[in-house]
Amino acid sequence: MLAKKPFKYGLKTCIFCGKPANSSEHVWPKWAHKLLPQFPNHTQLTLDAPVTKSIMSRTSERKRQGSVAKVAIKRVCSTCNNGWMSAYEENAKAILSAMMRGGHLALGAESQQLLTEYFTFKLMVLDWTNADPIFTQDERTAFYVNRAIPASLQLAMAYCRDASAHSYYRTHFIEAAMKTHLSTHTPGRNVKTIAVGFGGIFIFALCIRGEVDLSLKTIPGFVQLIPGKLATIRWPPFLVIGRTTLERVASSLDALKHHKKVTLIDDPNDAEASQTNK
């Protein structure tokens, strides 16, 4: 049975199976909270402007109580949350705990597959911090049924010792088109990046819908997890990144303004949203 659309008939439904969304999924799981900095509050920053070569022009901030590490998103059902999602948390806990602390690991095919599936479902939940997701219902259903990883997803990870970035979150969603395909471009935002600090693990995901031909370039200090390229990933990478590199990578979609083959489409409703600890 195919999952219902998450807001069909005005009822919030589970983004995976289609049952009523009666449960909240913690972005940073409860077991990880003791490994994360506990800031008393966080700031939600929104930048609004047309996506052109001009800079973002309008800024608004909203102060929120509690650490961003405890943010939970009510877009799943209790069956999924307490079942297969909970099993992922339990299975990945040992590897993630060691990686968050900077423990030395050799991640083979089995460990990489576990991390690939774990981060995929986390990204699909994070995708719903606003009601404009990049992953389609077909992609979420395919992951739920077969653990299929979306072909549009690319993910790289690095190690960052800066505690201020250990519960970092930033997303950027734009509309872009190949200059050679402007006449056939389907309107709508179609390129999204999601950057998350998971303790010392910093993950950066690029998600694309449609014909835009983009790929993650090799960045010193980063290793690519999705799609996998290495038989064994040595963790942590030899080069440890700092907050400056993290911020540059997290905001890298800005570089599309100067891409030779890609053009950004003017969209007055476009927005960049991020949550960062202050």
CA distances from 52 to 159, 194, 264 (A): 33, 21, 6
What are the phi and psi torsion angles at 78 (to 5°)? -65, -30
Cβ-contact 159, 202 below 8 angstroms: yes
Please name the residue ranges forming H helices in 127-173.
137-146
Cβ-contact 123, 180 below 8 angstroms: no
What are the phi and psi torsion angles at 82 (to 5°)? -90, -5
Number of H helices, E strands in the chain: 5, 14
For residue 4, the model assigns a pLDDT of: 52
> By percentage, how much of the chain surpasses pLDDT 90?
45
CA pair distance 238, 126, nearest whole angstrom:
29
DSSP 152: T
Residue 36 has pLDDT above 70, yes or no: yes
What are the phi and psi torsion angles at 142 (to 5°)? -65, -35
Q: Virtual CA dihedral for 158, 163, 165, 168, nearest 10 degrees?
A: 110
For residue 222, the model assigns a pLDDT of: 95
pLDDT in tens, 151-186: 989 999 999 999 888 888 888 888 887 777 777 777
Residue 61 has pLDDT above 70, yes or no: no
CA pair distance 242, 246, nearest whole angstrom:
6
pTM of the prediction?
Answer: 0.82
Omega before residue 29 within 30° of 0, cis:
no
For residue 217, the model assigns a pLDDT of: 80
Among candidates 25, 66, 47, which has minimal Cα distance to 170? 47
For residue 33, the model assigns a pLDDT of: 78
Q: List the structure tokens of 252.
A: 């890298």
CA 178 to chain centre: 23
Among candidates 148, 21, 35, which has minimal Cα distance to 101? 35
Specify the higher pLDDT residue, 48 or 34: 34
Residue 86 has pLDDT above 50, yes or no: yes
pLDDT band, residue 97 (cuts 50/70/90) = very high
Cβ-contact 155, 226 below 8 angstroms: yes
pLDDT in tens, 190-224: 888 899 898 999 999 999 888 777 787 888 999 99
Cβ-contact 190, 273 below 8 angstroms: no
For residue 181, the model assigns a pLDDT of: 74
For residue 48, the model assigns a pLDDT of: 36
